[in-house]
Amino acid sequence: MEPHIFIATPAYGGKVDLPYLESLLSLKDFFHTKKIASTFRSISNSDIVMTRNAFASILMQDETYSHILFIDADMSFHPSAVLKLINSRHDVCGAIYNGRTLDFELLVQKAQQLKDKKSILSHSLRYNVRPIGNPRTIQLVNGFVKNKGIGMGLCLISRKSLMDLIATGHIQEKPESWRMKFKDVLKGKLYGFFDVIDSEDGPLSEDYSFCWKWINYCNGDVWGLATDKVGHTGPVTFVSAYIDCFQKGSEQPA
């Protein structure tokens, strides 16, 4: 099956950030050049859990889609990062990206310890990832690292993985009254792929909950792209590559 990427953006309040828009337009041009089929849709809803559920359910109702590509409205990136996700052939993979705020205590600490400005910035940011094992080491496989969970701000999920999850019987079909909130875009069933759970490590976010289900119900793997710079816009846009936390003898912030 040739890739047909369903690009899905939750846009709370109908708003997106300019760096996101520029990245999206570049990606669409890139897909056109590479002859990669894609379809874009956004949903404005205050409930991110149900919005992600709706997007994944939309993919399930249209068999022409091979993958869903979540791009949150505050993310920025180069199209080459998305191509790496597609070419990896991982069922669940995404870019590991930083949060939207600096840890100023870490910034001061690392500025005294490190000389490289890029490493100082990378160490002063928190990353949306649940590492496996020692968080101060990293084992790359073609630019990717296996994790217990990643944020879905820039994440590619295959149709196969969603079908496998449904087949386990653990994914709840939501009531019709819930589906009706998305009736303009969703004609089929609304599945609870991203419903939050309590794990052995405590409550998990919707993104980490999805990863937990994929790993524990389907024996799947979750891969994070660590080598590419990704921006996350808050009061300002912070851009970093996760791998910079581990280069030149540096350590990931604990």
pLDDT in tens, 126-179: 889 999 987 667 889 999 999 999 999 999 999 999 999 999 999 999 999 999
Q: Residue 251 domain-assigned?
A: no
Q: Is 102 exposed, middle or buried (0-12, 13-18, 19+ CB in 10 A)?
A: middle
Task: Tell me the residue range of the domain where 48 lies.
Answer: 4-245
Instruction: Supply the pLDDT for residue 120.
Output: 64
CATH number at residue 140: 3.90.550.40
Q: How confident is the model at residue 254 (pLDDT cuts 50, 70, 90)?
A: very low
49-102 tens-digit pLDDT: 999 999 999 999 999 999 999 999 999 999 999 999 999 999 999 999 988 777
Count how many domains the chain has: 1
In a domain, residue 82? The reply is: yes
pLDDT of residue 249: 36
Is 95 inside any structural domain? yes
What pLDDT does 134 receive? Answer: 73
Whether 102 maps to a domain, the answer reads yes
Single pTM value for the model = 0.90
What is the sign, positive or negative, of the torsion defined by CA atoms of 43, 63, 5, 29?
negative
